[in-house]
Amino acid sequence: MSRQEANIYEIAKEAGVSIATVSRVMNHSTTVSEKNTKRVLDAVKKLNYVPNNAARCLSTSTSTSIGVVIPDINNPFFSQLLQGITRAADEMGLNIFLFGTNESSEREHKVLDSMREHRLCGIIITPVSAQDSDTLQKLHNFEALGIPVVLLDREVDSNAFDRVVTADEEGVFLAVSELIRIGHRKIAIITGPEASRPGYERLRGYCRALKDHGISLREDYIRKGDFMVDCAYAHTLELCRLPDPPTAIFASNNMTTYGCLKAFGELGLRIGEDIALFGFDDIDELRWLNYNVSVVSRDVPAMGEQAMRLLMRRFDSEDRPEQGTRTCLPTELIMRGSERVPGVLAER
């Protein structure tokens, strides 16, 4: 076989390994066993193949690039996800193309359409909405082309894809239960979009905690947010100006926490003294500024790494299962004092 005729598929077939393994060997990854490395290199020599990324991408549909689609490139949470994804990708000899959707379904559709031109070998996506039929169809189309898809943090209305999520409902349930345990009865929440899994699961955890502790839901304490700063800021001002304001607010993501703090600063309220605040996801920068916010925390880089490893497992598998796997990582509470309000504790 001449050099021009050989391609990465034939190397994988000759060596008896997956295409992903060949890619990792070509990119000098240390994660491949000596045995498989030797088999690949022997196949390369036998077929007189020169591993050239540009030539390989032009001559076959195979690449060493992963498309990562996130809704908000300014959100530190997604930066942490990318840390985990890129760390795992580097180990595997893969490259990352990053695409942002700005929490817009229309933008997401355009991004997914444009990604077909990039000859990607896999996609990791945090979809804008769980209920978007156009996005769902586009993701199914990628799978039909042999390009595996992994959902990260959010889901779509289909069990066909592998996905990595966290125990959002349970985390919020435990946080609100802790607020109740220390004496709060007037607890508000600024939610995320109900069309996203984190949005409705976190709201569900809040409602379950109040119900289990015999506290009635108050509609004026439930504010429909969008996981963005400005919306949270406006809702926080409205909550604090109610005739009967809450003593505690649960912020459903880190950007919502920023919005709450912005409003508290404008109103001259101190967390843990004048009003309680509990957030979802840690924010390193706040600790540097001595804002000790109690949070529902999770290992965000580990989520990114797990998504990358699920994608690699799909590369290594000859079969495409009809139903994907759902990996749910735990959350934990980190208490820093912002959940406490002296006046509330004195009333217990």
CATH of the domain at 337: 3.40.50.2300
- Number of H helices and E strands in the chain, helices first, is 14, 12
Q: Could you read off the pLDDT of 33-54 as tens digits, one per residue?
A: 888 888 888 888 888 775 544 3
CA distance 272 to 241: 18
State both tokens at 147: 């390009």
Examine the domain organization and report whether 145 and 201 are in the same domain.
no
Residue 248 within a domain: yes
pTM for the model: 0.80
- Asked if 172 and 161 sit in the same domain, the reply is no
Q: pLDDT-based confidence at 58, cuts 50/70/90?
A: very low
Structural domain span for residue 116:
65-166+300-329
Residue 188: its pLDDT value, please?
98
**pLDDT tens profile 182-231:** 999 999 999 999 899 999 999 999 999 999 999 999 999 999 999 999 99
What CATH code is carried by the domain that includes residue 14?
Answer: 1.10.260.40
User: Do 15 and 83 fall within a single domain?
Assistant: no
What are the structure tokens assigned to 206, written together? 């809040």
Do residues 160 and 86 share a domain?
A: yes
> What is the phi-psi region of residue 214: left when phi exceeds 0, alpha when psi lies from -120 to 50, beta otherwise?
left
The answer as to whether 3 is a domain residue is no
Domain co-membership, 342 together with 207? yes
